[in-house]
Structure 1
Amino acid sequence: MASIARLRNVVLDCPDPYALARFYAAVAGGTPVVEEEDWVVLRLPDGLRLCFQLAEGYTPPEWPRADHGSQQVHLDFDAGPAWEDVDAAEKKVLALGARLLRREEDPVAEDFRVFADPAGHPFCLCRIG
């Protein structure tokens, strides 16, 4: 099927665009570029653009999903083929300010771990496999 358009950006609302862009730059690479005081762009090494937009009165999504809302959107990151890779990535994102939301006690049951970024958006570190 022919496409209608090409995905340009994934945009996350947040209270501090530059701080959140720096967080994701440490996770996925790239350098944040302030295009406007309320808009920061992070071009990832693979060419995808994550953008961060100032949202006055920002309220983070609830996780797990609340009855009255949803998580809106979340990002999945491949951490590597082995749980040791995910363990190492987990330590790094926690040191950057992420918050653990879900970690299965039985790693065979799930291939991902769920975190919240510093602004509260859920994201996953996934085991490639």
Structure 2
Amino acid sequence: MTVAKTSVLVLDCAEPESLAHFYAELLGADIRPGDGFDMVEVVGGPGVHLAICRDHGYAPPSWPRPEDSQQAHLRILVAPEDLDEAEREAVSLGARPVSADAEEGPRDARLFSDPAGHTFTLAATGVKR
């Protein structure tokens, strides 16, 4: 018999409350206290559950620079016709575009960093990358 399990992606950062607000706004989710003093959770509809944890010695990843690994990233799926609007929304909330390649023109997957430096991708549903 398999034990029922669930998972949550935990992002470390220096200021968990502000990063939780970023992701709550971006994902249309709610913020709630997490397990422990330095943990905040972002919970929304199906598939939306993040935890943000304070790391007092946090240093953001430098990906795509080769000296550090990417560590982890989120892939946020949106309808293809909503990709441009989702990008505008993310940037207005404090996301920064990250150029990992020299691809020109319209793209169906776009890479960003959140205010704490974690990378995430906005991708049109059905995109395999």
TM-score scaled by length of structure 2 = 0.84
**Which runs of structure 2 are paired with 1:72-83 in the superposition (5 Å)?**
72-82=71-81
Q: Which runs of 5+ in 1 are unaligned?
A: none
Aligned partners of 2:5 and 2:112: how far apart in 1? 28
Change (3 A) 1:87 1:3: farther
Number of equivalences: 123
Tell me what 1:45 maps to.
45
Aligned partners of 2:78 and 2:87: how far apart in 1? 9
Tell me what 1:88 maps to.
85
Partner of 2:51: helix, strand, or coil?
Answer: strand
Determine if contact 2:79/2:124 at 8 Å carries over to the other structure.
Answer: yes
TM-score scaled by length of structure 1 = 0.84
Tell me what 2:63 maps to.
63
**Which runs of structure 2 are paired with 1:1-129 in the superposition (5 Å)?**
6-35=5-34, 36-46=36-46, 48-66=48-66, 68-82=67-81, 85-102=82-99, 104-107=103-106, 110-129=107-126
Partner of 1:88: helix, strand, or coil?
Answer: helix
Determine if contact 1:9/1:50 at 8 Å carries over to the other structure.
Answer: yes
Aligned partners of 1:4 and 1:101: how far apart in 2? 39
1:101 shift after superposition? 0.4
1:29 shift after superposition? 1.9
1:47 shift after superposition? 5.3
Query: What RMSD, in angstroms, separates the aligned Cα atoms of the two structures?
Result: 2.0
